[in-house]
Structure 1
């Protein structure tokens, strides 16, 4: 039976575009039960599911320049550029509290995407309890070279973008024939082939499958973009992309750029609002459609 998926790409602070899209969905009353997110996409997703409008924007806009969030000092002290205690504990527990009860009460669930260092393959994990599974969310956003691997249930995990940057195929495989895809790169973007893989081979010499995944990432990414465009043409997907010309770095600190990107996401979703609602209605109709009659013999 057809259902609908919400597919969220990562991209660090480029995820402010996604935050804008999700706040529009909240305002429009659009609730999608299946959400799959990578890195910043996963972090944005949980506040969408807990119905905490504006939370993602507030955190990233307010603390993007805070050394407790992202800094070389964090890396020197802990081995990770991102302040893991600050971002994954201090903020959700005290500073901008996360509503765990609302998340658990929701019908929606996040599937977080990580990459397994040993296999180089995607690691998908349904998040039922954000507090108990915070390490999976953290792993999804732990970038290679600037983050420590995260151990989860015998797996060593890093950023999901290495193996599956835009997990549309996974959403389809899970039964979602209709999808709303939120990208963090503009129309026409294609990932360039990387040059030498010497750095990754040195840094991850114990994990050759992970090195191979990093090397093939541009090809996999571009093939997935082709799939996104094909699903759009066939009417099975709506894809939202940032406007061309909005140059925002992964660790952007310019607050004007961050606000502009958030507003761009909100406006992009609003412009496609009717198309999104049609897709939602199509998914709802498919859910309640009676089963096809069995062929008599």
Structure 2
């Protein structure tokens, strides 16, 4: 409606004034956190009855939580096939109604995080995991002289069919991934550019995919430095950070002592030891709660067992859900003190 245009009928009938007066408003920021949160919930309830999109309402809700200091973030750790456990975790948290305002991911965690942030539902994610379980071999193409085991063209094509040309800063849920610049030895945050390029760089595990060039940087999988990127969530402005360490407990994974040793198995085990310990230690420094799904004897390359892995993630999230929700309620009420401890769900 421009200058000089006639007023709509509802404006002259008084309906417009009634609607405007009925709309709740946020209180002054000098009020308590609880008052701000209650007003934000009222604002969300108002918007839910308006002809606006669900995505817009989620954005407004997230902005309200940002103002109130209540944004929730998930840090999804790497772990190859074990990373499918994140799907089960997401399923439980979303069913419980816990808001997810941002996601960070490393390696396989960046894959699941990118999918979910791009608007792909948990049910669709389960379908994708099921589809890939019988097609993993299609990605493999051994080229020793190029230092890679996976066919890069097929990997990129697989992601592009879901992401198309979407950019990292165009996702429905704010999403960042991490990598390591092997030229400087420092962690690198991927916060813009193509979503396909972002995931490709984050899964560039030495020996599986070659490093990913990006400007003056040469990026590889960050599992060697920060496999559960909770610190990344804090940089994004997260107030309540949950870390999921997808690296299986060391005791559950058997190592053969038969000679001659399998060089790949030994290398994989060494990276597992390093990744699990580093990931847990760094995540615990910055997270409100960190937990690890119990994956039993499932190995990190058994993508064919994705339904079992997803179920392991679900069980772990269900076991930790009371602590997660209790911790969030403590944040909402402004309580201080030690948060509830994580628990392990045994398969």
Identify whether the pair has TM-score above 0.5, normalized to the shorter chain: yes
Structure with the bigger percentage of helix: 2
Structure 2, unpaired ranges of 5+: 1-68, 253-262, 264-269, 335-347
CA distance in 2, matches of 1:64, 1:52: 18
3-state SS of 2:176 partner: strand
Kept in 2: contact 1:3–1:283 (CA 8 A):
no
Would the aligned equivalents of 2:148 and 2:208 in 1 still touch at CA under 8 Å?
yes
Seen in structure 2, the aligned counterparts of structure 1 residues 219 and 150 have a Cα distance that, compared at 3 Å, is closer
Conserved 8 A contact 1:68-1:83? no
Q: Aligned equivalents of 1:79 and 1:219: distance in 2?
A: 22
Q: Structure 1, unaligned stretches of length 5 or more?
A: 191-198, 200-214, 287-297
Q: Which residue among 135, 141, 147 is the counterpart of 2:203?
A: 141
Closer/same/farther in 2, CA of residues 104 and 145 from structure 1, 3 Å limit: same
299, 314, 318: which is aligned to 1:266? 314
Which residue in the other structure is 2:94 paired with?
Answer: 26
Equivalent runs, 1:68-79 vs 2, <5 Å: 69-71=138-140, 73=141, 75=143
CA distance, structure 1, for counterparts of residue 319 and residue 276 of structure 2: 26
Aligned to 2:127: 58
- The structure having more radius of gyration, on CA atoms, is 2
Q: Which has the higher mean CA deviation after the structures are superposed, 117-126 or 61-70? A: 61-70
Q: How far apart are residue 165 of structure 1 and its match?
A: 1.3
TM-score (norm 2): 0.60
8 Å contact kept, 1:37–1:113? yes
Ranked by relative contact order (alpha carbons within 8 Å, sequence separation 6 or more), the top structure is 1
SS in 2 for 1:272: helix
Contact 2:159 2:196 in 1 (8 A): no
- Given that 1:19 and 1:44 are in contact with CA atoms closer than 8 Å, whether structure 2 keeps it comes out as yes
- Structure 1 residue 118, shift from structure 2 partner: 0.2
2:289 to 227, 235, 238: 238
Q: Which of 176, 183, 186 is residue 111 of structure 1 equivalent to?
A: 176
Secondary structure of 2:74's aligned partner: strand
- In structure 1, the partner of 2:78 is 10
Show the counterpart of 1:38.
106
Picking from 241, 244, 247, the partner of 1:182 is 244
